[in-house]
Amino acid sequence: MKGPSPADLNDLEIAHVAYTADLIDIRYAHMALAKSKDPKVREFAQTMIRDHSAVNDQALALLKKLNANAQDNFLSKQLSAQADQLVDEMSSLSGKAFDQRYADNELGYHQAVIALVGDTFIPNIENLIIELSIVYPP
């Protein structure tokens, strides 16, 4: 039997996945600020915190305006569980090993999220307001 698919998520579940993905990246960035001494890694982490926090603030404002609540789902739970595992892994690293693992993860994580949004979510979003807010944030 085939399990659930990201293409089957409704708009409010998609909103929750997007919000969760941003929270996870913020979590990784806070870890980088705590562990890295490399100025470029720290600057990138600060950018991730600023940018992803701003996106989530805009998403929450939009949901409030629409009088809607994001809905937790299998994918947001899966992303959170994977993030917990990665945080455990990266906690044991330090110095250049941590910096390299953080940079590698950021590249792969952003590529995966961009592909998910572009290839699966946007083609399946039913509410134009949510779609426009993802593509063209306020």
Domain count, the chain: 1
Residues 3-57: tens digit of each pLDDT: 789 989 888 898 899 999 999 999 999 999 999 999 999 999 999 999 999 999 9
Residue 79 lies in a domain: yes
Secondary structure (3-state) at 38: coil
Is residue 56 within 8 Å of residue 19, measured between CB atoms?
yes
Residues 115-128: tens digit of each pLDDT: 998 888 888 777 64
Q: pLDDT band at residue 133, thresholds of 50, 70 and 90?
A: low
Residue 40 structural domain? 10-135
Q: Is residue 132 over pLDDT 50?
A: no
Is residue 59 within 8 Å of residue 68, measured between CB atoms?
no
CA 74 from chain centre, in angstroms, equals 15
- If 0-12 CB within 10 Å is exposed, 13-18 middle and 19+ buried, where does residue 107 land? exposed
Residue 4 lies in a domain: no
* Cα distance between residue 46 and residue 13, in whole Å: 28
Residues 93-118: tens digit of each pLDDT: 999 999 999 999 999 999 999 899 88
Residue 115 lies in a domain: yes
